[in-house]
Amino acid sequence: MKKKVLSVLSLSVAFWMNAQEKDSLNQKKVEEVVITGQYKQQSINKSIYKVDVIDATQIKNMAATNVADVLNQSLNIQVTPDSKSGNSTANIMGLDGDYVKILIDNIPVVGDTGLGSNIDLTKITLSNIERIEIVKGSMGVEYGNGAVAGVINIITKKNNTKKVSVRGSLQEETVRDNYDLKKKGQGRHIQNLNIDYNINKEWFANVSFNHNQFMGYEGNSEGYKYFGQDGKRGYEWNPKDQYESSALIRYSKNRTTFFYKMSYLKENFNFYNPEVSRRPLNDGLGGVEYESRDRKYNTHRWLHQFNIQTNLGHIRYMGDFSYQNQDRKYFDYNYDIPNRNIKSQQEEKSYYKTDVIYSRGMFSNFLDSQVFDFQVGYELDYTSGFAALIAGDFFGEAVKRKIFTYSNFLSAEWNISDRFSVRPGVRLSLSENFENQYNYSLSARYKTSENSNLRAIVGSANRFPKYDELYTYFVNLNHDIQGNPDLKPETGFSIGAFWDQNFRTTNDWRIGYSVDALYLDVRDRIDMMIIKEPSTYKYMNINRYKNMLLSANVDFRKDQFAFSIRGSVNARSISINEVKNADADDFQYIMQAGASATYKLKNTDTNFSLYYKYTGEDRLYVADPAGGVRLGITDAFHMMDFIVSQPFWNNHFEISAGVKNIFDVTNVKSTAVAGSSHTAGSATVNLYYGRSYFARLMFQF
């Protein structure tokens, strides 16, 4: 009953609240700029690509604490968490994080197994983010390996109008019904601090600090102190603790701008084993001890980024240079549960370790013409990877892999008229590990009216195989699962059309709407195939994936009120060629809908924000370990957040409070999780830990 009352009240509020952005913010929308896929920073209205932007105001209104929280509100993006590893990755158009390129300031981010793909979004904080840019579709020409389903580019703040600016926040959240500020093991606690300093007209500096402590959620488990032997020890969502700090210095004068940024992340993640061993002490008193073999992961990530934009004569040059390192270490220990102490501990070792040297350079404006010009560029990626034996079964030994990839790309932009422009592009990627990869694109923008654009885009991208796909070797009496060093990269192709229109009514309503259509085709998909009955499997380039997406969005704005509604239909088809006599390549459909509303009271500046997202029933064919295929179904679910914010003391302080996940979504029933050759598919998908309440204090001087 309580849940229904909350839901009805929240839905009622949606009819009169909005997204806060008043006239000044509407004006900002007109001038909003993007950099993803562009020759230079330019107006979003003139962008050759369809770029979706989530700006700093929207992020603040959401009371989100990391990029995963923000993207969960976007249609056709599902953040998929792994409660065992603590990682959360982005799923776009039904493809997981391996097919989505994650960038920070146009530079791919290092992860456990490579660069830019399968990135844990909870490791990217929001304390100093200006906006998030999203482009769906294959972007191989601009961003190379892994940009098959889309690109997410996180842009950080690099300037401030004040001489000195200090801003920060303190945020406390419940974890469903668990919270205690003093008691260890309950709630979520977030603190951040940013300091900006304009040294003079040319030089700007920034330092930031962020701490995000998640104390875990037991759910149906009983916590780490429990020593029953029924498999209920531990947590559904394991605890983790993150610390991040960064420093930036920026120089800008005339036509030259450069910045250097350094950031460091430390994450501690605890895995509590549900299995408990009982051992008699043989002390004559009937004493016993209860132990569990637990594991702790410690991740260290260093990011060094240098970007320069300058002119060499009239030729425009933009260069990115980066050294990045991520080392995820672990150690196992025997924990005496009743006595709360560690009996023995292994030496800490690396689980995954990745070192990357990266550079990307682009030269444009050769002809210094507004009608026709072209861009040439290069991309260099030297990745040295390490996967410990415990991270997978790799021929009985740890696996080290070095990949050197060098790419050249070329594109030209032709403004045929004031209304019509086209941009063809091509990329050649050379790798010592794989065959040469060719990617291409053709983009066009037609200005149908002063406030309306029609865009059409064709593009391709590739994805290189991962560690486990190349090197897995798990053989015993019951299993024979092998990687394949001869795998070739997967290839993706997309074609899309995007139309948007904005206008103002006579009574000063600003209305904007858009319609998007996108088709994605991925060939040579890598999956396990049975090569010998009954249980010999090998990774092969065998499957094909197709996705069709149709979506629409409408925005209404007037004065202090804004309201947005959106919807989409997504059709997916997977050709499961490894299954004999399988006929499962017809399209299955999933519907999504969303709305957001904010309203700001004129007299008090009190801001109300509400966000809603519906994800419909998901039907998908999956391989059945028993043979053949089956149609799996994941249940529909609703998400809703409601936030109230109140600034005071000349906007130096702001208090926010609200409720997230109002409908209390936790585990979603699913029969669409495919079983592997030696495990059965799960009956549920663990997406969220349920309804939570929060309070936040923000300050700026």
CB 351 within 8 A of CB 330: yes
The pLDDT, as a whole number, for residue 427 is: 97
Contacts of 416 (CB under 8 A, 6+ apart): 422
* pTM score above 0.95: no
219-227 CB contacts, 8 Å cutoff, 24+ apart: 219/666, 219/689, 221/274, 223/185, 223/272, 224/270, 224/272, 224/294, 224/335, 224/337, 225/337, 225/340, 226/337, 227/276, 227/290, 227/292, 227/337, 227/338
The pLDDT, as a whole number, for residue 623 is: 67
pLDDT at 436 over 80: yes
CB 19 within 8 A of CB 28: no
The two most distant CA atoms of the chain are separated, in Å, by 94
CB 353 within 8 A of CB 330: no
pLDDT tens digits for range 206-227: 999 999 999 999 988 999 999 9
- In angstroms, the CA 533 to CA 272 distance is 37
- In angstroms, the CA 555 to CA 591 distance is 20
Report how far Cα 124 is from the mean position of its chain's Cα atoms. Answer: 9
- Per-residue CA distances from 343 to 275, 290, 337 (Å): 17, 11, 10
Confidence of residue 6 (pLDDT cuts 50, 70, 90): very low
- Nearest to residue 464, comparing CAs of 481, 442, 443, 439? 439
State the average pLDDT over residues 255-272.
96
Burial class from Cβ neighbours inside 10 Å (0-12, 13-18, 19+) for residue 471 reads buried
pLDDT tens digits for range 525-578: 988 777 776 667 888 888 889 999 999 999 999 999 999 999 999 999 887 665
The pLDDT, as a whole number, for residue 619 is: 85
pLDDT at 19 over 70: no
| Token code pair at residue 215 | 């104390």
- In angstroms, the CA 697 to CA 641 distance is 18
Q: Which domains does the chain have, with CATH numbers?
A: 163-700 (2.40.170.20)
CB 108 within 8 A of CB 423: no
- Region of 361 on the Ramachandran plot (φ > 0 left; ψ -120 to 50 alpha; else beta): beta
State the average pLDDT over residues 358-375.
94
State the average pLDDT over residues 279-297.
87
pLDDT at 639 over 80: yes
- In angstroms, the CA 521 to CA 288 distance is 59
- Nearest to residue 130, comparing CAs of 169, 158, 110? 158
pLDDT tens digits for range 475-531: 766 667 888 889 999 999 999 999 999 999 999 999 999 999 999 999 999 887 777
Cis peptide bond upstream of 534, omega within 30: yes
CA angle 668, 670, 672 (to 5 degrees): 145
pLDDT at 627 over 80: no
Q: What is the DSSP letter of 390?
A: G
pLDDT tens digits for range 129-163: 999 999 999 999 999 999 999 999 999 999 999 99
| Token code pair at residue 35 | 């950099």
Q: Tell whether the torsion through CA atoms of 98, 102, 107 and 110 is positive or negative.
A: negative
Higher pLDDT pick, 678 / 449: 449
Higher pLDDT pick, 139 / 24: 139
Q: What is the DSSP letter of 66?
A: B
Place of tokens 């904005």: 502
The pLDDT, as a whole number, for residue 29 is: 42
pLDDT at 184 over 70: no
Task: Provide the 3-class DSSP secondary structure of residue 29.
Answer: helix
pLDDT at 391 over 90: no
Q: Which helix (H) or strand (E) holds 24?
A: helix 23-31
The pLDDT, as a whole number, for residue 5 is: 35
The pLDDT, as a whole number, for residue 388 is: 80
- In angstroms, the CA 635 to CA 647 distance is 40
The pLDDT, as a whole number, for residue 678 is: 45
Report how far Cα 534 is from the mean position of its chain's Cα atoms. Answer: 38
| Token code pair at residue 407 | 């790419």
- In angstroms, the CA 428 to CA 430 distance is 7
- In angstroms, the CA 293 to CA 247 distance is 39
pLDDT at 626 over 80: no
Mean pLDDT for all residues in the chain: 88
pLDDT tens digits for range 290-342: 999 999 999 999 999 999 999 999 999 999 999 999 999 999 999 999 999 99
Burial class from Cβ neighbours inside 10 Å (0-12, 13-18, 19+) for residue 435 reads exposed
Contacts of 423 (CB under 8 A, 6+ apart): 48, 411, 412, 413, 414, 441, 442, 443, 444
The pLDDT, as a whole number, for residue 46 is: 86
| Token code pair at residue 541 | 């380039």
- Nearest to residue 692, comparing CAs of 641, 636, 638? 641
pLDDT tens digits for range 102-138: 999 999 999 988 889 889 999 999 888 999 999 999 9
| Token code pair at residue 548 | 């069709």
Residue type, 89: T
Confidence of residue 26 (pLDDT cuts 50, 70, 90): very low
Higher pLDDT pick, 185 / 290: 290
For residue 318, what are the β-bridge partners? 309, 362
- In angstroms, the CA 274 to CA 229 distance is 8
State the average pLDDT over residues 651-675.
89
Output the DSSP codes for 614-627: EE--EEEEEE-TTS
Burial class from Cβ neighbours inside 10 Å (0-12, 13-18, 19+) for residue 545 reads buried
Output the DSSP codes for 336-354: ETTTTEEEEEPPPEEEEEE
Contacts of 195 (CB under 8 A, 6+ apart): 164, 165, 166, 206, 207, 208
CB 439 within 8 A of CB 426: yes
- In angstroms, the CA 396 to CA 389 distance is 7
| Token code pair at residue 380 | 């260099």
Place of tokens 């790419």: 407
The pLDDT, as a whole number, for residue 674 is: 56
pLDDT at 658 over 80: yes
